[in-house]
Structure 1
Amino acid sequence: MKTYPKFKAAACHAAPVYFDTPATLEKACDMIIEAAGNGASLIAFPEAFLSCFPVWSGVWAPVDTHEFFFKMASSTVLIDGPEMARLRSLAKRLGVFISMGINEGTPNSFGCIWDTNVLIGDDGSILNRHRKLVPTHWEKLTWAPGDGSGLRVVDTRVGRIGALVCGENTNSLARYSLLAQGENVHISSFSPRWPTHPLGEAGYDLEASIRLRAGAHAFEGKLFNIVSSGFLPPEAIEMVCRDNPQVRRLLEESPKSVSMILGPDGTAISETLRDEEGIVYGDIDLARCVVPKQFQDVVGYYNRFDVFDVKVNRRALAPAQFFDSGDPYTSAGVPDLVEGETSRLAALTLTGSEA
């Protein structure tokens, strides 16, 4: 008889140290060590945890945000940089999986930033990098759109893991593309707050939307959903508001985000964190995903593949493609590239994007 993985998952409800990547990385490592010490095998962090969420774009006019954008761009993380190397080393040492939200930079441009989720394996490898397909509303002022190369589900010893970032969990086709790959553990990462309306007007209820979207995906897919959301501390509010009382009130009164873990019926199997930082835990038994598939299996018998035809473009995009007839530098007597440079160029050629 087939056996199904059982493990403990952890969702971190936490705030970064804004624009301070080294300090935020230290905080992340401390939380990973704490969660692993409490028996967690999969540890999830919020959207853009390394090292800030651009909440200022929701409360200031674009002409007033250049300072924030400069600091954010200057604190980005490279996928092959030292921050990721440290997280990979820690994951391998502790034997845990880490889902981390980063502001991903690129050597191609000082100002291009992606809202990226990275899944690190328990062997220290990068299992997947998913760049948010479409930044939501005012997030477009900061982040570049991603591509479909990260719409992947990774088969691991704890289950088949997929992830989407914040508003993507509203996109039914993005969610279905993961379900169609056999996803049974989903990671949803969210922002700390998301102001959308002036003071006094009914705005976007972030907590309600998270519960609705996360619960719907868990129920539709008959899977477990780990929700990790950011937290907006007083010092971040003080920094963003710039002594403007109206902006301060708007940030303080915007609905807070929540972190929790949901079961295959869409209900919470963990406590919920909202008003303080911390870690929530949930015991996951993938055997619970089997029986509910009898009722609706949207990637199995409960679908009409003759009626619906879904195609997903997972080709990685790059700024340009270069076709060289040879290496003019070698023929001119310039030494060959060193081993590291050769490997990087080979990786660029193979992937069509940064190594």
Structure 2
Amino acid sequence: MKQVKLAAIQAAPVFFDRKASTEKACALIAEAGRSGADLAAFGETWLPGYPFFIEAPLSDLWWEAAALYVEQAVRLDGPEIADLCRAARQAGTDVVIGIAELDPATEGSVYASLVFISREGELLGRHRKLKPTHHERSVWADGDAEGLVVHARPFGRLSGLNCWEHNIVLPGFTLISQGTQFHVAAWPGREPEIAPNDPVWSRQVLLSRAFASQAGAYVIAPAGLRLHTHVPDRFKPLSTIEHTGQSVIIDPRGEIIAGPANGETILYATASLEEIRKAKSACDPAGHYSRPDLFELRLKGETIYPTRQS
């Protein structure tokens, strides 16, 4: 495939309602498929929504929200994933979507996971966020290294990370060392109160652009959308911030080619494998632009850089 159509889906889920959110996600996947998308991506924990209540002061209502969030979390073997797989197959597009994944053993822990689904309707894998950020640690458990892999797809090599995992550096290099070409950087959405300036200079955009340039890869940076009006009335007192989206799509040189997006929308851009090759010919951080004689990276005791093929 010489050209690949990418889609960043920016929309609000139905908070605390995984069934309704799944139905909306399937409709959005179908819309992206009708527009010819080869890869469609959603933001961090889109299903059933980012835990907006985490920055509110502790109260009985806070604990009620936390319990409901666990209740509405998604199992990998549950009907929601089956519905998403069916929607991807019918749309003929690969899908990457953030979910609040329920631990199947305890049913008391939740992970911020990215789920990778093929256009054939198969679950390719999942990546659990390695370290929740700040207040997120009160809701999400630590992830693992199982999902730090690049998936071989018909259009190229596909990877993904959540939010501030792009700040940790080593997870990103783990994917770069596997030759990622298309990367999903999933975000909860821009917080205007924290980043009041031009959204192009927000942290989510800067880190996504940096990764694109470092990896020589296209980056889809879908951002969540959650305004106070999207929060159920009972839990509005816990809604202290808003997420206003600002999704972007970035080329392998780190330039924005679509977005930032406002409101509910699907952002599209056309990617070219030639542009990926151009970027990597100038800088391949795990190949010719590296020093394997000086550096080594181990993942769970196994050397992944330099690779055995190096």
Specify if TM > 0.5.
Answer: yes
Q: Would the aligned equivalents of 2:227 and 2:244 in 1 still touch at CA under 8 Å? A: no
Structure number with larger C-alpha Rg: 1
- Residue in 2 that maps onto 1:347: none
Displacement, 1:293? Answer: 2.4
Q: Would the aligned equivalents of 1:149 and 1:314 in 2 still touch at CA under 8 Å? A: no
- Residue in 1 that maps onto 2:241: 251
CA offsets 1:105-137 (integer angstroms, 9 cap, x no match) = 123123210111000011111112000000000
* Inter-partner Cα distance in structure 2 for 1:312 and 1:143: 22
- Residue in 2 that maps onto 1:227: 221
Q: Would the aligned equivalents of 2:221 and 2:247 in 1 still touch at CA under 8 Å? A: yes
Q: Would the aligned equivalents of 2:15 and 2:49 in 1 still touch at CA under 8 Å? A: yes
Asked if 1:136 is matched to 2:133, the reply is yes
Percent identity over paired residues: 31
Q: Would the aligned equivalents of 2:47 and 2:98 in 1 still touch at CA under 8 Å? A: yes
Displacement, 1:173? Answer: 0.5
Q: Compute the TM-score of the two structures, normalised by the length of structure 1.
A: 0.79
Displacement, 1:262? Answer: 0.4
* Inter-partner Cα distance in structure 2 for 1:88 and 1:162: 18
Q: Compute the TM-score of the two structures, normalised by the length of structure 2.
A: 0.90
Question: Residues 23, 175 of structure 1: CA spacing in aligned structure 2 closer, same or farther, 3 A cutoff?
Answer: same
The CA RMSD measured in Å over matched residues stands at: 2.2
Question: Residues 115, 251 of structure 1: CA spacing in aligned structure 2 closer, same or farther, 3 A cutoff?
Answer: same
Displacement, 1:92? Answer: 1.7
Q: Unaligned regions of 5+ residues in structure 2, if any? A: 303-310
Q: Would the aligned equivalents of 1:260 and 1:273 in 2 still touch at CA under 8 Å? A: yes
Displacement, 1:295? Answer: 2.5
1:288 is paired with a residue of what secondary structure?
Answer: helix
- Residue in 2 that maps onto 1:98: 95
Question: Residues 212, 313 of structure 1: CA spacing in aligned structure 2 closer, same or farther, 3 A cutoff?
Answer: same
Q: Would the aligned equivalents of 1:154 and 1:161 in 2 still touch at CA under 8 Å? A: yes
Q: Would the aligned equivalents of 1:118 and 1:129 in 2 still touch at CA under 8 Å? A: yes
1:73 is paired with a residue of what secondary structure?
Answer: helix
- Residue in 2 that maps onto 1:302: 289
* Inter-partner Cα distance in structure 1 for 2:44 and 2:124: 18
Displacement, 1:204? Answer: 5.2
Displacement, 1:306? Answer: 0.8
Q: Would the aligned equivalents of 1:62 and 1:141 in 2 still touch at CA under 8 Å? A: no
- Residue in 1 that maps onto 2:274: 287
Output aligned runs, 1:167-316, within 5 Å: 167-194=164-191, 203=194, 207=199, 208-237=202-231, 239=233, 242-243=236-237, 250-252=240-242, 256-274=244-262, 276-313=263-300
Aligned length: 299
* Inter-partner Cα distance in structure 2 for 1:193 and 1:141: 21
Asked if 1:32 is matched to 2:20, the reply is no
Q: Would the aligned equivalents of 1:55 and 1:193 in 2 still touch at CA under 8 Å? A: no
* Inter-partner Cα distance in structure 1 for 2:252 and 2:25: 28
Q: Would the aligned equivalents of 1:147 and 1:314 in 2 still touch at CA under 8 Å? A: no
* Structure with the higher strand share, 1 or 2: 2
